[in-house]
């Protein structure tokens, strides 16, 4: 998703006996499906986990403008430029809704930006990959926004009210993003051999990083249990990844592209597709700052931040 390695700051799952009276009452509200609002009592770990997750999500929306923004001045037609501009502006809006949601937890947008710039906060690994052709605009819409939808639709029901409400609006716009990406790829697939080859090459590059968007496998994701108990997270990483693969395979058939995984086959018994895991070493390297575009993305963000500071004090 747009927040892949969020460490929950809970100290392991507590049993009801180990909880304080306040914690017990809080957990009962979560279990009853009640929304938690900014002025309600909440455990410190819940608040911190949410700040990390929403902050990381907000940063991902903002940094996520860069790979596609790269193509605005080189869009092939006026219509494509208008669509791309609208999409990139939506991502800026998503960042703003999410920063506002995080601010209700007592952290400012400036503090979160500082944490991004000094490396204490991350953004999604996917945005550290370059966009090399216009087909990438379509592939990002189809696969990256598609993966984001899988992750984010369940977050509309997350336990923290301001986060869930922001996600409802974000999800509506994400489905437009996914469809515009699919439509662009479909148009290219109906074009020349060269255009079809561009689409296939782009899908070959983005397939594995898109699978990484759901974060590490469940047995390597020790914080999921606490986040799920608190209703912050609704599904595990592996369940969401499976859902994404199952959703994407028939769409790839309609497009006429090949997903670059020879191990991708329908498993009748499980009622799901089997597929090969992405390279988790590469994932760790990219999250750790070693991806192809990490330095470039952060330098851009730093420049924008300094410019804003100068304008604010001028």
The contact set with Fe ion (CB under 5 A) reads 61, 91, 94, 145, 174, 177
CB of 22 to Fe ion, least distance (A): 35
Question: Exposed (0-12), middle (13-18) or buried (19+): which is 282, by Cβ within 10 Å?
Answer: middle
2, 289, 282: which is closest to 119 by C-alpha? 289
Helix axes 161-189, 78-103, angle to 10 degrees: 160
Within a 10 A sphere around the Cβ of 61, how many other Cβ atoms?
A: 24
Residue among 27 and 125 whose Cβ is closer to Fe ion: 125
Give CA 233 to chain center in angstroms.
13
First to last CA, the chain: 38
Q: Which is nearer to Fe ion, 122 or 196 (CB)?
A: 122
Q: How far is the CB of 95 from Fe ion (least distance, A)?
A: 8
Name the residue nearer to Fe ion (CB basis): 127 or 207: 127
Of 86 and 304, nearer to Fe ion (C-beta) is 86
Least distance between Fe ion and beta carbon 170 (Å): 6
Picking from 71, 95, 96, 93, the residue whose alpha carbon sits closest to that of residue 83 is 71
Q: How far is CA 89 from the centre of its chain?
A: 17
Which CB, 10 or 95, lies closer to Fe ion?
Answer: 95
Smallest distance from the beta carbon of 274 to Fe ion, in angstroms?
A: 28
Q: In whole angstroms, how close is the CB of 57 to Fe ion at the nearest point?
A: 9
């Amino acid at each position: 998703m747009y927040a892949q390695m969020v460490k929950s700051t809970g100290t392991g799952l507590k049993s009801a006996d180990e909880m304080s009276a306040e914690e017990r009452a809080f957990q009962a509200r979560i279990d009853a499906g009640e929304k938690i609002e900014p002025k309600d009592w909440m455990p410190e770990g819940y608040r911190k986990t949410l700040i990390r997750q929403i902050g990381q999500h907000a940063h991902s929306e903002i940094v996520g403008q860069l790979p596609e923004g790269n193509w605005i001045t080189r869009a092939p037609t006026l219509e494509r430029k208008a669509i791309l501009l609208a999409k990139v502006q939506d991502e800026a809006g998503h960042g703003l809704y999410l920063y506002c949601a995080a601010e209700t937890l007592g952290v400012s947008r400036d503090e979160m930006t500082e944490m991004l710039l000094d490396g204490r906060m991350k953004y999604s690994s996917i945005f550290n990959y370059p966009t090399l052709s216009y087909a990438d605009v379509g592939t990002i819409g189809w696969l990256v926004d598609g993966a984001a939808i899988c992750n984010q639709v369940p977050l509309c029901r997350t336990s923290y009210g301001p986060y869930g409400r922001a996600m409802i609006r974000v999800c509506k716009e994400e489905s437009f993003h996914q469809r515009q990406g699919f439509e662009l790829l479909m148009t290219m697939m109906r074009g020349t051999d060269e255009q079809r080859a561009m689409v296939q090459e782009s899908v070959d590059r983005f397939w594995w990083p898109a699978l990484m968007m759901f974060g590490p496998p469940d047995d390597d994701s020790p914080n999921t249990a606490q986040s799920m108990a608190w209703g912050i997270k609704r599904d595990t990483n592996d369940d969401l990844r499976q859902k994404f693969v199952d959703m994407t395979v028939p769409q790839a058939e309609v497009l006429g592209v090949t997903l670059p995984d020879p191990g991708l086959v329908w498993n009748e018994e499980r009622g799901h597709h089997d597929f090969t895991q992405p390279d988790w070493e590469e994932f760790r390297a990219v999250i750790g700052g070693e991806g192809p575009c990490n330095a470039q993305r952060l330098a851009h963000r730093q420049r924008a931040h300094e410019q804003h500071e100068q304008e604010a004090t001028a």
